[in-house]
Amino acid sequence: MGEFERKSTPPIILVAVAATAAGLGGFAIERLGRVASDPGSTSHAWHLIAIQGLILAVLCMTGVALWHLRRRDEAEASGAGLLAVLEAAPNGVALIDGSCRVVLVNARVESMFGYHRDELLGRPIEILLPEAAEFLCRRAAPEAPPVLRRDLGAIRGLETQGRLKGGGTTPVAVSLGIVELRDAPVAACIVHDLSDRLREEARLRDAYRALRFANARLRGVVEGTTDQIAALDRDRRFILLNTAYKSRFAALFGREIEQGMRLDDALAGRTDAFARLAARWDRALAGERFQTVVAYPDADGGVIHLELTYSPIRDDQGDLLGASQMVRDVTDRIEADEALRRNAAQLEALGASREKAYAALQAAYDELKQAEGQLVQAEKLSALGQLIAGVAHEINNPLAFVGNDLAILQRDVAGLVELVRLYQQAGSTLADRHPELAAEIDALADRMDLEYSLESLESLTNRAREGLGRIRRIVKDLRDFARLDGGDLEEADLNAGIATTLSIIAGPARDRQVEVAPDLQELPAVTCSPGKINQVVLNLLINAIDASPPGSSVTLRTRPHGDGVTIEVIDQGVGIAPDFRRRIFDPFFTTKPVGKGTGLGLSISYGIIQDHGGRIEVESAPGEGSHFTVFLPLSPPRKVRLPVEAAPVSRDDA
Least confident of 7-16, 77-86, 319-328, 468-477: 7-16
Residues 6+ apart with CB under 8 A from 9: 1
pLDDT at 600: 63
| Mean pLDDT score, 528-533 | 86
pLDDT at position 378: 60
What pLDDT is recorded for position 114? Answer: 92
Highest mean pLDDT among 346-350, 416-420, 463-467, 539-543: 539-543
Query: Does residue 69 surpass a pLDDT of 90?
Result: no
pLDDT at 165: 92
> In angstroms, rounded to a whole number, what is the distance separating the alpha carbons of residues 322 and 230?
11
Average pLDDT over residues 402-431: 73
Better-scored residue on pLDDT, 3 or 71? 71
CB burial string 535-560: b at 16+ within 10 A, e below: bbbbbbbbbbbbbbeeebebbbbbee
Please check the confidence at residue 347 and state whether its pLDDT lies above 80.
no
Residue 56 has pLDDT above 60, yes or no: no
**Distances 418 to 308, 438, 452 between C-alpha atoms, Å:** 115, 19, 15
Residue 609, CA distances (Å) to 530, 606, 645 in order: 12, 5, 16
Per-residue pLDDT at 482 exceeds 60:
no
Q: What percentage of the chain exceeds 90 in pLDDT?
A: 18
Which region among 33-47, 93-107, 281-295 has the lowest average model confidence (pLDDT)? 33-47
pLDDT confidence of 652, banded at 50, 70, 90?
very low
Helix, strand, coil percent content, the chain, rounded in steps of 5 = 55, 20, 25
Q: Is the pLDDT of residue 484 over 60?
A: no
Q: 9 pLDDT exceeds 50? A: no
Give buried/exposed letters for 58-95 (b at 16+ CB in 10 A, else e): bbbbbbbbbbbbbeeeeeeeebeebeeebeebebbbbb
More confident residue, 76 or 124: 124
Query: Over the stretch 603-642, which tens digit does the pLDDT of each residue have?
Result: 778 878 888 899 988 888 888 888 999 999 998 876 544 3
Mean pLDDT in residue range 463-480: 71
The architecture in CATH of the region 225-329 reads 2-Layer Sandwich (3.30)
Residue pair 154/145 in contact (Cβ under 8 Å)? The answer is no
Asked if pLDDT for residue 317 goes beyond 50, the answer is yes
DSSP 554-608: EEEEEEEETTEEEEEEE--S----HHHHTTTTSTT---SPTTT--S-HHHHHHHH
pLDDT for residue 233 is more than 90: yes
Report the range of poorest mean pLDDT among 29-33, 170-174, 175-179, 190-194: 29-33
The 3-class SS string of 403-447 reads HHHHHHHHHHHHHHHHHHHHHHHCHHHHHHHCHHHHHHHHHHHHH
Confidence of residue 108 (pLDDT cuts 50, 70, 90): very high
Question: Residue 597's pLDDT is what?
Answer: 56
pLDDT 10s digits, 234-244: 999 998 888 88
Indicate if the pLDDT at residue 21 is higher than 50.
no
More confident residue, 72 or 623: 623
What is the pLDDT, as a whole number, of residue 15? 36
Which option is the CATH number for 3-202: 3.40.50.1460, 3.40.50.150, 1.25.50.20, 3.30.450.20?
Answer: 3.30.450.20
Q: How confident is the model at residue 410 (pLDDT cuts 50, 70, 90)?
A: confident
Is 643's pLDDT higher than 50?
A: no
State the burial class of residue 104 (Cβ atoms within 10 Å of its Cβ: 0-12, 13-18, 19+). Answer: buried
Domain range list for the chain: 3-202, 225-329, 370-481, 490-646
**234-279: pLDDT as tens digits:** 999 998 888 888 888 888 888 888 989 998 888 888 878 788 888 9
Please report the pLDDT score of residue 75 as a whole number: 46
Does this chain's domain 3-202 share its CATH topology with 490-646? Answer: no
CA 82 to mean position of chain CA atoms = 70
Lowest mean pLDDT among 84-88, 94-98, 237-241, 469-473: 469-473
Give the pLDDT score at 144: 58
Q: Is 90 a residue whose pLDDT tops 80?
A: yes
Over residues 42-56, mean pLDDT? 50
Judge whether residue 135 has pLDDT over 60. Answer: yes
For 111-125, 473-487, 497-511, 512-526, which range has the lowest pLDDT when averaged over its residues? Answer: 473-487
Q: How far lies 535's CA from each of 82, 152, 531, 631, in Å? A: 118, 122, 6, 15
More confident of the two residues 546 and 585: 546
Cα separation, 403 vs 44, whole angstroms: 120
Dump pLDDT digits (tens) for 145-166: 554 444 434 455 788 899 999 8
Q: Model confidence at 459, in pLDDT bands (50, 70, 90)?
A: confident
Query: Which CATH number is associated with domain 490-646?
Result: 3.30.565.10
User: Of 58-72, 179-193, 470-484, 546-560, where does the model show the most confidence?
Assistant: 546-560
- Please tell me the predicted confidence (pLDDT) of residue 458: 74
**Tens of pLDDT along 576-608?**
877 776 666 666 656 665 555 555 677 778 878
Do residues 1 and 48 lie in contact, with contact meaning Cβ atoms separated by under 8 Å? no
Q: Taking all residues of the chain, what is their mean pLDDT, rounded to a whole number?
A: 75
Note the pLDDT tens digit of each residue in 420-441: 777 777 666 766 677 777 777 7
Cβ atoms of residues 654 and 592 within 8 Å:
yes
pLDDT at 138: 75
The answer for residues whose C-beta is within 8 angstroms of residue 436's C-beta and 6 or more apart is none
Say if residue 78's pLDDT is above 60.
Answer: no
Examine the pLDDT at 71 and tell me if it is beyond 80. no
Q: Is a pLDDT exceeding 60 seen at residue 487?
A: no
